[in-house]
Amino acid sequence: MTSKSVRPVRQPGESTHVVWAIIALAAGGFGIGTTEFAIMGLLQDVAEGLQISIPQSGQLISAYALGVVVGAPILAALGARVPHKYMVLGLMGLFTIGNLSSVVAADYTTMLLTRFLSGLPHGAYFGVAAVIAASLVAPAKRAQAVAAVMLGLSVANVVGVPLVTWLGQQYGWRLMFVAVGIMGVITLVLLQRFVPFTPTHAEASIRKELSALKRIQVWLALLIGIVGFGGFFAVYSYISPTMTDVTGVPESALPLIVGLYGLGMVAGNLIGGRLADRSVMGSIYIVMTAIIIVLVLFWAAAGIPWLAIPLVFLLGAAGSSLIPGLQTRLMDASPDAQTLAASLNHSALNMANALGAFLGGAVIAAGWGFKAPALVGAGLAFLGLAVAAISGLLDRRGQAPVASEAADALSARKISGSK
């Protein structure tokens, strides 16, 4: 069989269709990012509406995060034999139902359940969407395609979260879930229209997906995310009181600060995708080092407004630059079980959120001040860089030939799909 016989013929307009397919996948990320973060700005409204305390309303955030951690591996494994197009449609359908059910949740317990339900498809959706996006483009642009899907999550912090938060404050907090539900319906239409159908591999199975958990490089990549990204969340979780109490920014300017962070996330996604396409592990080394530097600078300059405010942008950029590289690394580390591996990235990032917030809160509670989480974060990021170095060392010793395995598996899938 010649190389010409195994390459699908590019049809007129195919590149445009690929762009729209990635936009459709990113639209799902936009809705997911909006519902994940918008509730943080409406906690007081939710507490008043459900007649609960603010700490209790904060548990709604935890319930969503728990859904992400639990749902990612379970749904990705159970959907091993489901064609990817049907998988993303089903996951987005579950996400939409979960958010719309929050609109009619009558009490606190029901709201906890609906938030947990909404979080279940989060990680699996991004995992499957990343695999689809990577399969639509040339191997040299895989990470950029993955970054484009994740861009929906970043743009949500700039556009979706502020808009939905404002709507919730003006017209009732339940409108937030209505808006996200509408986003889900629009995404379903786009996915159905533009994401191409590809049959599942004949050997796909739950057991094969679970084989990803046997690979040391998968666990090392997850640990990089949990520890390294935890350093980022140690600071971002307390960015509002830090900016008001240490930097001296008025509370009225906090939406602009959060928006600046969101713009940094957008820039970081684009930069991270390009870096990862040049070298996946190289991008992780560079970004982890950048996170350490930015966190140390933020600790040193938190009391100087003209330095601290630009560093918020760099904080968002450095943190989000890590995601495309980690997502691609997980897919490469388990080429025959990419869906589960990619989905686990979002379980890891939610664990990082919990770890960073906990440790950052611990040093604040110990009386070390709002600047202290930045040093904690730098320490965590350094540990993440050390884990990355170990992972890279194993590659160089030939104990885990990740790149070659991934290339072989990708070639095999393309040949199989073209027959």
Q: Are 224 and 326 in contact (CB under 8 A)?
A: yes
Grade residue 58 by pLDDT with cuts at 50, 70 and 90. confident
CA distance 202 to 100: 36
Give me the torsion for CA of 33, 37, 42, 48, rounded to 10°.
Answer: 100
Identify the pLDDT of residue 232. Answer: 82
Find the mean pLDDT for residues 9-19. Answer: 63
Sign of CA dihedral 317, 272, 74, 27: positive
All structural domains of the chain: 13-200 (1.20.1250.20), 202-419 (1.20.1250.20)
* Residue 266 or residue 4, greater confidence: 266
Contact between residue 336 and residue 264 where contact means Cβ atoms under 8 Å apart:
no
Number of residues that make up the chain = 419
CA–chain centroid gap for 220, Å, is 18
CA dist list (Å): 277 to 17, 139, 386: 22, 8, 22
pLDDT in the model for residue 8:
37
- The fraction of the chain above a pLDDT of 90, given in percent, is 48
Q: Taking a C-beta distance cutoff of 8 angstroms, is the pair 232, 377 a contact?
A: yes
Rounded distance between C-alpha atoms, residue 319 and residue 103, angstroms: 32
Q: What is the residue-averaged pLDDT of the chain?
A: 85
Q: Give residue 334's region: left, alpha or beta (phi > 0; psi -120 to 50).
A: beta
User: Confidence band (pLDDT; 50, 70, 90) for 254?
Assistant: confident
Query: Looking at residue 224, what DSSP letter applies?
Result: I
- 188 sits in the region (left: phi over 0; alpha: psi -120 to 50; else beta) called alpha
- Model pLDDT for residues 89-101, shown as the tens digit of each residue: 999 999 999 999 9
Confidence of residue 414 (pLDDT cuts 50, 70, 90): very low
pLDDT of 177 > 90? The answer is: yes
Stated as kind and residue range, the H or E segment containing 275 is helix 254-278
C-alpha distance from residue 274 to each of 240, 263, 277 (Å): 31, 17, 5
pLDDT digits (tens, 9 = 90+) for 377-386: 999 999 999 9
Mean predicted confidence (pLDDT) in 407-418: 45
Tell me what the mean pLDDT of segment 199-205 comes to.
Answer: 63
Is 176 strand, coil or helix?
helix
Segments in 79-141 forming alpha helices (H): 84-103, 108-135
- Give the residue with greater pLDDT, 142 vs 337: 142
Identify the burial level of 56 via C-beta atoms within 10 angstroms of its C-beta, where 0-12 means exposed, 13-18 middle and 19 or more buried: middle
Mean pLDDT of 252-275: 88
- What residue has token string 């509730």? 39
3-class SS string, 8-55: CCCCCCHHHHHHHHHHHHHHHHHHHHHHHHHHHHHHHHHHHHHCCCHH
Closest CA to 32 of 254, 258, 329, 349: 349
**pLDDT average, residue stretch 8-18:** 58
State the pLDDT confidence band at 230, using cuts at 50, 70 and 90: confident
DSSP line for 180-196: HHHHHHHHHHHHHHHSP
Confidence of residue 7 (pLDDT cuts 50, 70, 90): very low
- pLDDT value, residue 416: 42
pLDDT at 246: 92
pLDDT recorded at residue 83: 92
Say how far residue 167 (Cα) sits from the centre of its chain: 25
% of the chain beyond a pLDDT of 70? 89
Q: Which of 118-122, 346-350, 401-405 has the highest mean pLDDT?
A: 118-122
The pLDDT of 20-30, averaged and rounded, is 95
Q: Give the model's confidence band at 201: pLDDT under 50 very low, under 70 low, under 90 confident, else very high.
A: low
CB neighbour class for 415 (10 Å; exposed up to 12, middle 13-18, buried from 19): middle
* Distance in angstroms (rounded) separating the CA atoms of residues 402 and 416: 21
Cα-based torsion angle of the residue sequence 148, 149, 155, 160 in order, rounded to the nearest 10 degrees: 160
